[in-house]
């Protein structure tokens, strides 16, 4: 399926598995057993990471999902963040843990955090699988837990898409330009 389309496998399955296990431990250690915690997955990119991460968290968490979009099918941020699907449950007085696939410019996260803050949660923390720190001029949004810092390259796989495809690839790779050209 991807023959000649992969420039570099950036993070393989074993690396993902090991790191996510560690992150799950760190998150487990941060909260208390009787905290009311809602893990908020940012769709769609976060769904695979969320599924793997939540199984490494040894706390009675609930899971909720929010669909926002900042990219309109291409590979660069437009700065537009749109809420497509909101949370099902109230987060008032709960500990919110936002689960993101990637922090790029940080615009998406900034919008989501500001919006969720108005709903009076007890706390808001952020866990991201990938971070492109180079892309942020103002360091105002940072993750509390960060899986991997990556260079400023468009990456695909493990939840991340190109034009809604390849989210099902079990590792993270940098594509060859041929992939975009179809």
The catalytic residue positions are: 104
Work out the angle between the directed axes of helices 13-30 and 47-54 (0-180°, nearest 10).
Answer: 60
| Closest CB to ligand XMP among residues 76, 90 | 76
Beta strands in the chain (DSSP E): 6-11, 37-43, 62-69, 82-85, 95-103, 123-131, 145-149, 172-175
Report CA Rg, the chain: 16
Q: Which of 173, 175, 174, 167 is nearest to 48 (CA)?
A: 167
Binding mask 58-97 for ligand XMP (x = CB under 6 A): ------------xx-----x--------------------
The reply to whether 176 sits near ligand XMP by the rule CB under 6 A is no
The reply to whether 103 sits near ligand XMP by the rule CB under 6 A is yes
Residue from the set 35, 142, 161, 176 that interacts with Mg ion by CB under 5 A: 161
The reply to whether 40 sits near ligand XMP by the rule CB under 6 A is no
What's the min distance (Å) between Cβ of 161 and Mg ion? Answer: 5
Interacting positions 35-94 with Mg ion (CB under 5 A): 71
**Looking up tokens 């291409």, which residue turns up?**
74
Measured distance CA(166)–CA(160) in Å, rounded: 7
The reply to whether 102 sits near ligand XMP by the rule CB under 6 A is yes
Q: Which residues contact 78 (CB under 8 A, 6 or more apart)?
A: 70, 71, 72
Question: Residue 48, by phi and psi: left (phi above 0), alpha (psi -120 to 50) or beta?
Answer: alpha
What's the min distance (Å) between Cβ of 117 and ligand XMP? Answer: 17
What's the min distance (Å) between Cβ of 154 and ligand XMP? Answer: 4
Interacting positions 131-170 with ligand XMP (CB under 6 A): 154-156, 160-161
What's the min distance (Å) between Cβ of 152 and ligand XMP? Answer: 9
Measured distance CA(80)–CA(83) in Å, rounded: 10
| Closest CB to Mg ion among residues 145, 166 | 166
The count of chain residues that interact with Mg ion, using the rule CB under 5 A, is 2
Residues that bind Mg ion (CB under 5 A): 71, 161
């Amino acid at each position: 399926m991807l023959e000649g389309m992969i420039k570099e496998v950036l993070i393989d399955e074993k690396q993902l598995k090991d790191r996510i296990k560690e992150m799950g431990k760190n998150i487990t250690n941060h909260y208390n057993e009787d905290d009311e915690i809602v893990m908020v997955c940012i769709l769609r990119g976060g769904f695979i990471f969320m599924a793997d991460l939540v199984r490494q968290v040894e706390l009675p968490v609930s899971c909720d999902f929010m669909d926002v979009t900042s990219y309109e099918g291409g590979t660069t941020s437009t700065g537009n963040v749109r809420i497509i699907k909101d949370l099902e449950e109230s987060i008032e007085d709960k500990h919110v843990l936002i689960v993101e696939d990637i922090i790029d410019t940080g615009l998406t996260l900034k919008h989501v955090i500001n919006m969720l803050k108005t709903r009076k949660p007890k706390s808001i923390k952020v866990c991201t699988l990938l971070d492109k720190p180079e892309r942020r001029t103002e360091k105002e949004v940072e993750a509390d837990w960060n899986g991997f810092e990556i260079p400023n390259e468009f990456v695909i796989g493990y939840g991340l898409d190109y034009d809604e495809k390849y989210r099902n690839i079990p590792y993270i790779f940098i594509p060859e330009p041929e992939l975009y050209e179809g």
